[in-house]
Copies of this chain bind each other. A is one copy, B any other.
């Protein structure tokens, strides 16, 4: 059997070393400090090997996201059956995560990369927002089945809201007070409209 390809095969070791070096440097010093030279040196690899497989440092970051070299431990909501507390607990866990300046810095570095490179943005969505969105939607649908959430609730919009609320604060370098989290959950579950029907 033949592969139809000749020549030396791509070094998986080099690939790993590059992605690991990129993830490490990104977390340590941010996006602006990241350079292809430094990635190559840290990975013990020729610069050309980086450029052979990726078009730019952003593309390397995109693959880091895809392969879980950053943001690997995704924080997803638990499903205890109580949708309201599940969502609240998840939101608190996420806020805790971003309270660590290291994590917040990594997050901002990713946002910087994403705002300049469509591919990073897509991967970041696939890896972070997307799964969170899915998990939240499932969580809320479970709430509907359990009778905790009204069955005509705009579930995807709510999921977007929850993610956006956290993201906004992270990018704005604003520490998120836990009270905000409760407010968010309260507003979303109970609504802010006055219960005027009774009047």
Chain A contacts to B: CB under 8 angstroms: 30-32, 84, 108-109, 111-112, 114-116, 118, 121-122, 124-125, 129, 140, 143-144, 147-151, 153-158, 160-161, 163-169, 171-174, 179-180, 182-184, 186-196
Contact = CB atoms under 8 A, between A and B. Distances in A.
B160 A169 contact: yes
Contact of A171 (B111, B161, B173, B189): B111
A165 B182 CA distance: 17
Interface of A is mostly: helix
Copies in the assembly, this chain: 4
Contacts of A140: 192
A157 B171 contact: no
Closest 8 CB pairs of A and B: A191-B191, A157-B183, A154-B183, A164-B168, A164-B164, A108-B115, A153-B192, A164-B165
Contact of A149 (B168, B173, B193): B193
Contacts of A191: 150, 187-193
A147 B192 contact: no
Contacts of A166: 164
